[in-house]
Amino acid sequence: MCWSATADLVAGAGVTAVGVACVTRVRDPRDLLLAALPLLLGAHQIVEAAVWDAGGGDGAATVAWVVIALPLLAVWVPAGVWSAAEPSARRGPGWALAVGLATAAVLAYGIATGPVTAEIRGHTVGYRLDLTHPPVLVAGYLLATVGSLLVSGDRRLLVLGAVVAAGAAACFTLLRLEFVSTWCAFAAVWSVLLWDWTRRRPAARGLGPRG
């Protein structure tokens, strides 16, 4: 999240542009899902601009933001890593994807059955939904998203995973302290790292190893 509707729109447009560059550079269809992640992150920030404009609340923009942030990303990231991995290196991302699917199912149920609200808190937006066993869900979410990058077997995705982990820790700390969220900055960094990853990926080579 960013600190205003304007900031979210500007950052979202920038991250989306990086996403377009990532997708246009894809030479192997197996890389497409992960390469398109900046498009999702950019759209996510643009959706939050609508949350700002609405003053929070429980409208469609709030629900859309939460759906993207929680169940969708919990599946999208490990699925993208699994798809891009060499067949011999898919066991780790496969476990992460299984955890992501299970976590997303519980999150989606919570969103569908409980109230989802947003509240403007100074320079941040706070989101609230009723979930059972939040620590377990947070652990599953991090295992699916950050964990899949760390066990990908790809050096650049490993670096991305480390940056995402540091960003998650920083955003959590800053939000607890009610300071301005750094989500926009980290989303931009993640997108640039993915752009570099797509730029260096080889062309499709069937199901065999990619050099």
Average pLDDT over residues 114-119: 90
- At residue 178 the predicted structure's pLDDT band, cuts being 50, 70 and 90, is very low
Q: Per mean pLDDT, which range of 70-84, 110-124, 178-192 is the poorest? A: 178-192
| Strand partners of residue 126 | 119
Q: Are 71 and 145 in contact (CB under 8 A)?
A: no
106 or 180: whose pLDDT is higher? 106
- φ and ψ at 21, to 5 degrees? -65, -40
The helix (run of H) or strand (run of E) holding residue 96 is: helix 91-113
Instruction: Give DSSP secondary structure letters for 193-207.
Output: HHHHHHHHPPPPBTB
What is the structure's pLDDT at 210? 44
**How many of the other CB atoms lie within 10 Å of CB of 149?**
26
71 exposed, middle or buried (CB, 10 Å; 0-12, 13-18, 19+)?
A: buried
Which pLDDT value is given to residue 109? 95
Are the C-beta atoms of residues 195 and 22 closer than 8 Å to each other? yes
Q: How confident is the model at residue 204 (pLDDT cuts 50, 70, 90)?
A: low
Question: Torsions phi, psi of 178, nearest 5?
Answer: 60, 35
Beta bridge partners of 118: 57, 127
Copy the structure tokens of residue 58: 């429980």
The predicted model scores a pTM of: 0.89
Segment 39-80, tens digit of pLDDT? 999 999 899 999 999 999 999 999 999 999 899 999 999 999
The answer to whether 15 and 188 are in contact (CB under 8 A) is yes
Q: Which pLDDT score, from 0 to 100, does residue 209 have?
A: 44
Query: What percentage of the chain has pLDDT greater than the value 70?
Result: 88
| Tokens found for residue 46 | 């643009």
CA dist., res. 210 & res. 124, Å (int): 43
What's the rounded Cα separation, in Å, for the pair 127 and 196? Answer: 32
Instruction: Report the pLDDT value the prediction gives residue 105, as an integer from 0 to 100.
Output: 97
Whether pLDDT at 211 is above 50: no
Per DSSP, 90 falls in state -
Place of tokens 């169940």: 71
Q: How far apart are CA 201 and CA 196, in angstroms?
A: 9
